[in-house]
Amino acid sequence: MDIKLLQTFEVAASCENFHQTAETLYIAQPTVTQHIRQLEKELDVALFERVGKRVRLTAAGKRFLSHAKLILSQWHTGVEEMVTWKQGYKEILRIAVSPIIARTSLPSLIHRYTKEHPEVDITIKVADSIDIGLLVQSGQAHLGLSRMIPSEGQLSAYLMQTDPIVFAVPHYGGDMDAPLPDWEQELITKRLLTHNHPVYWEPLLTSLRQRGFAIRTMGVTHVDVTKRFIEEGLGISFLPRSAILRELFENRFMELPTPGLELPKVASYVILPNNNLITSGQRFVDILATLYAPLPKVT
């Protein structure tokens, strides 16, 4: 069975339109039709049915789609491993990691790992924490570094470290001995940039509103964008301290104490498959266990 036929089928199943499929694959629309017909002939079933100007999978098409995706995934993995072998690497390691961990903890880990294991070809996939469990479960990543415990089954999560949440505001300059701004005044006069972390924002907002704060919010889903907005004077936020260490050191941000308001702590986790962690992945976990001992299992 020709891999090109399966690639065309997978894209067509997603687009539900042969014209869009042709544009996505940079081939002519008649070629798309030809690929689908050839695949249907080999399988002796109809994979699509027409609905107006669009197409949709038949029951047979839906059943075959999962098999096609598995075949394509294995094919891509095989090609990747052959390329790696030709480049002189003996092993591969695919890591899925959240943006904030990629920016803070990961560089030192990669430095140490590549120094100890130069024969391993590493691929880093930066993804939102909510997606990391699925990437590991599906085999697209050998392990994950996430800011939340995954909901997917067949995975285990181990605690790397905890990180306090702090109230971050722009540095206003002036006398270094001057008193810090009042945190409550900052909160009610500035826009609060929210939802840049997958865990703590809803309970924190509830706590603030229960205290009677009339706050204006703006959802900003990425920490890097949140920090840029703070620097530009567009708002303030509650952020993990590790995410703003450089800004604090360079006097671009101030960390304000919040007397009377207990702020949460967040955690970072290493996400592993319950079975068949490859050797290159186990070596990475061994480094984590050294740096973040005792690395306790939480799920």
pLDDT (tens digit per residue) in 218-237: 999 999 999 999 999 999 99
- How many secondary structure helices (H) and strands (E) does the chain include? 12, 11
Given CA atoms 135, 137, 143, 146 in this order, what sign does their dihedral have? positive
Q: What is the mean pLDDT of residues 92-112?
A: 95
Domains observed in the chain: 3-62 (1.10.10.10), 76-161+267-291 (3.40.190.10), 163-265 (3.40.190.10)
Answer yes or no: pTM beyond 0.85.
no
Q: pLDDT tens, 252-299?
A: 999 999 999 999 999 999 999 998 899 999 999 999 999 999 999 998
Separation CA 127–CA 129 (nearest Å): 6
Return the sign of the alpha-carbon dihedral for residues 177, 178, 184, 186: negative
